[in-house]
A and B are shown apart, each in its own frame.
Chain A
Amino acid sequence: NAGVTQTPKFQVLKTGQSMTLQCAQDMNHEYMSWYRQDPGMGLRLIHYSVGAGITDQGEVPNGYNVSRSTTEDFPLRLLSAAPSQTSVYFCASTRFDEQFFGPGTRLTVL
């Protein structure tokens, strides 16, 4: 039981490049979320999903897309990376009220 896995662990992009952050969970949880963590800001919700085929925006969705074709996977896409998207990204899956976080992806946009 791997829990929540995220790839890659580190990524450097140039402004304007696109990429997908991968997130997978093997706990059969319906709820999954993406957060970004910036210094002094705590974690802020980007997008979330309540089940396969259903997604919704969180607090800071601009510049990011998500899809949920399966229960297990919840990828986060950056369409055109900007320096303001330099951050640490965490994926989480939820059982009842407990969120299980992945180890994070540290993204730098130059």
Chain B
Amino acid sequence: GQQLNQSPQSMFIQEGEDVSMNCTSSSIFNTWLWYKQEPGEGPVLLIALYKAGELTSNGRLTAQFGITRKDSFLNISASIPSDVGIYFCAGQRGGAQKLVFGQGTRLTINP
């Protein structure tokens, strides 16, 4: 089955640094979503993007829907310890159930 190509797979950064991760696909998506998963929990939605070129912020998080509709990126500014977790992108082409997920980016922060 198709999956999105998410990179990097892992990041080790210092507290206060900015973070950038992205997802690419060979297919077009109508919606891009970014989730965060903490240990022992299910993913939680961070940002949803609905239009090509859309740039949306949620606090220190900023995400963009690529113009080609085949990619998206997520930036986290001034990272803090609670940003630790796994970040997933997901693309939606048809109905609300049919999400395709990236492999995840594991973020580790050194205080």
Q: Is B45's beta carbon under 8 Å from chain A? A: yes
* Chief secondary structure at chain A's binding surface: strand
In chain B, residues 61-102, which have Cβ atoms closer than 8 Å to a Cβ of chain A? 88, 90, 92, 95-102
Number of interface residues of A (CB under 8 A): 27
Contact surface of B with A, Cβ cutoff 8 Å: 1, 3-4, 6, 9, 31, 33, 40-45, 48, 50, 88, 90, 92, 95-104
23 A-B residue pairs with Cβ-Cβ distance under 8 Å, sorted by A, are A31-B96, A33-B97, A40-B103, A42-B3, A42-B4, A42-B6, A43-B88, A44-B1, A44-B101, A45-B97, A45-B98, A50-B95, A92-B42, A94-B96, A97-B50, A97-B92, A98-B45, A99-B45, A99-B99, A101-B43, A103-B40, A103-B41, A104-B40
Contact surface of A with B, Cβ cutoff 8 Å: 4, 31, 33, 35, 40-45, 48-50, 58-60, 90, 92, 94, 96-99, 101-104
